[in-house]
Structure 1
Amino acid sequence: MSTLSQSAAEPSAAPASSFLSVTDLYVHFATEDGTVKAVDGLSFDLERGSTLGIVGESGSGKSVTNLAVLGLHNPRNTTIRGEIVLDGQELTGASERQLNRLRGKKMAMIFQDSLAALSPFYTVGRQIAEPFMKHTGASRREARARAVDMLRKVGIPQPELRVDDYPHQFSGGMRQRAMIAMALVCDPDLVIADEPTTALDVTVQAQILDLLKSLQQETGAAIIIITHDLGVIAKTADQVMVMYAGRCVERGTVKEVMHHPQHPYSWGLLSSVPRLDSSVEIPLVPIPGAPPSLLAPPPGCPFHPRCGFSDRVPGGACHTVRPELPDAQQRGSACHLTETQKESVFTEQIRPRLR
């Protein structure tokens, strides 16, 4: 059974300055092989009208974190601890009925695989109209008109005709736009986009990102973008959170993280990205090894088995002591290297790769 930090009472008012505040979040899954620590003590804040980019390799806990925000994990095998406060409402421990009132209206998610997320048995227009009817009490005619309008906003040609098409009749890019229309049909205050540009060609990717930005400017929504694509983060996000092994290892503004990263994992991510303006003589530097098993994460810093700088930390602290981030509102990284060491490594080894 799910273990939650709050009882399933009405979401209580909580004093929080941020629109979304996640504090000390743990999401663990019970499996036959043991407990998977998918999210292991994560905290972050998000303001209205801003965009947070969450980046990291597959299995780092990006999607698990945001599914917990929406309350979409299976309670039978999931243990959730910590606080998730959305606009003053505590979501951890809220009942399914209470969360259903918020999903679609207050918070919504654009899922990664639009073909799997859209039902093949109903038209695209009906699937967009359904949450609008549920949350606003609109008639079928009003909801259909709203669906047509949303399809027009997201750039679907001839929306009056395409509203009656089924998902398989849409291209990949059009399905992704339909997913965005469905997520935004009730003008939610929080939009979570899980890999919104995966498997789309570059032109469609740019259109999807521009669309999200323009709709955010219209509605003032807060947006979380989950991706492994640093180019997407650079184009859309205001703040960046780098995740590894269920933890945040670095956070800051886009400019800070992209141009002056502080954590060895961030260095590895940026060093492995090809750049059009870089010399062909500068090789890409992949991160050695593989992400750790979350059934038995390594002691100390979870990145130390793959880190090329742990030998610079005296006493073997990387192998035994978990590095912590500074205060949740501050720029920083969870690394045992001193600020002087970080600056030296970045200046001598990392910056030349990023030019």
Structure 2
Amino acid sequence: MTSTDQQPFLSVKDLRVHFSTEDGIVKAVDGLSFDLAKGRTLGIVGESGSGKSVTNLTILGLHDRRSTAIEGEIVLDGKDLLTASERELERLRGNKMSMIFQDALASLSPYHTVGRQIGETYRKHTGASKKEARDRAVEMLRRVGIPQPDVRVDDYPHQFSGGMRQRAMIAMALVCDPELLIADEPTTALDVTVQAQIMDLLKDLQQEFGTAIIFITHDLGVIADIADDVLVMYGGRCVERGTKEEVLRDPQHPYTLGLMSSMPSLDGPVDVPLSPIPGSPPSLLNPPSGCRFHPRCAFAEQVPGGRCATERPLLEVVDGRGSACHLTPAQRRELFADYAGTRHN
């Protein structure tokens, strides 16, 4: 997902994250690879349980190694994160890489002021004094659009609105100018107006600092607004990837097509019925054999020999574009066009 002449800032190769539970092994991420360059935004999209958040918690080193088996490679600016010590990861978290969580109210401590929580992150990584940290917190609150930041810096999270709390979370994540920012569905609980403001804020800050961003969401509309590149996950695996324009204009995997067909269109006919994907996401304790999407796929019977149920399709990537599907390109063109046609008739 990066140009051939640009070294990726973040490189993930064949990542596997398996959890040990009383019921068995959960294969949360099962062979995931992608690259991300500075100044680019990678949108990771998929239903709940697809492995999106697990991937990014693994990048940050936030899993309990006693119950988690992690294989593969995660390299951030030349540093292998999977072999790094906990002390090294603590130096990187909040400094070189940072994360915005989905629920700001649950992520912020109710017992400390917003300014103190932002300032403590800054003090930990820079050794700044309390006054310097408070001044920095005021500066960051101003940068993310909080009115009267020199006053609101002493407020507690419950005194902020939902949108303001999310802005405060962004300020905390950006206080040390991280080079990698992971945003885990940061706008899900916000109304559309505030959501648009947060998205614009992230884009402005990225343009200012050249930050690499991973944006996790289940909403393709959000992806269309903020992402440069898109990675579609299902059942712990990547099923499709490409630029935003490639994936949204010409989906190559039935799951991506299903996600798009289950969303209303703002520029199409208003009477087009939505087509939700039948069934439920797979259990990662006992995932389906072959293609994990095949029990829900409208086109699995079109592949001869029942390969979808028995043989895992490979993700073949050419110039950053690829999909993991047994359908031939000719079959996809015909079947996907027919599928889209039935929605407009």
Task: Give the 3 Å change call, closer, same or farther, for CA 294–280 of structure 1 in structure 2.
Answer: same
Aligned equivalents of 2:341, 2:204: Cα separation in 1: 33
Kept in 2: contact 1:271–1:354 (CA 8 A): no
Q: Which residue of 2 aligns with 1:147?
A: 137
Q: Which residue of 2 aligns with 1:73?
A: 63
Residue of 155, 165, 179 corresponding to 2:155? 165
Aligned equivalents of 1:320, 1:278: Cα separation in 2: 38
What secondary structure is seen at the aligned counterpart in 1 of 2:12?
strand
Kept in 1: contact 2:272–2:344 (CA 8 A): no
Q: Which residue of 2 aligns with 1:334?
A: 324
Kept in 2: contact 1:37–1:246 (CA 8 A): yes
TM-score (norm 2): 0.96
Q: Which residue of 2 aligns with 1:13?
A: none
Deviation sequence 1:110-150 (CA, Å, 0-9, x none): 01111111111111001101111111121111111110010
Deviates more, 1:339-348 or 1:62-71: 339-348
What secondary structure is seen at the aligned counterpart in 1 of 2:316?
coil
Q: Which residue of 2 aligns with 1:250?
A: 240
Deviation sequence 1:164-200 (CA, Å, 0-9, x none): 1111111111100000000000000000000010110
Q: Which residue of 1 aligns with 2:206?
A: 216
TM-score (norm 1): 0.93
Per-residue deviation, 1:93: 2.4
Q: Which residue of 2 aligns with 1:235?
A: 225
* Deviating 4+ runs (over 6 angstroms): none
Q: Which residue of 2 aligns with 1:4?
A: none
Identity of aligned residues (%): 71
What secondary structure is seen at the aligned counterpart in 2 of 1:266?
helix
Aligned equivalents of 1:243, 1:275: Cα separation in 2: 22
Task: Give the 3 Å change call, closer, same or farther, for CA 53–352 of structure 1 in structure 2.
Answer: farther
Residue of 92, 108, 124 corresponding to 2:98? 108
- 1:16-55 aligned at under 5 Å gives the runs 17-55=7-45
- 1:121-132 aligned at under 5 Å gives the runs 121-132=111-122
Per-residue deviation, 1:329: 5.1
Task: Give the 3 Å change call, closer, same or farther, for CA 277–25 of structure 1 in structure 2.
Answer: same
What secondary structure is seen at the aligned counterpart in 1 of 2:181?
strand
Per-residue deviation, 1:74: 1.4
Count of matched residue pairs: 340
Residue of 226, 240, 243 corresponding to 2:216? 226
State yes or no: 1:195 paired with 2:213. no
Unpaired segments ≥5 residues, structure 1: 1-15
Per-residue deviation, 1:280: 3.1
Q: Which residue of 2 aligns with 1:259?
A: 249
Aligned equivalents of 2:256, 2:334: Cα separation in 1: 15
Unpaired segments ≥5 residues, structure 2: 1-5
Aligned equivalents of 1:100, 1:301: Cα separation in 2: 38
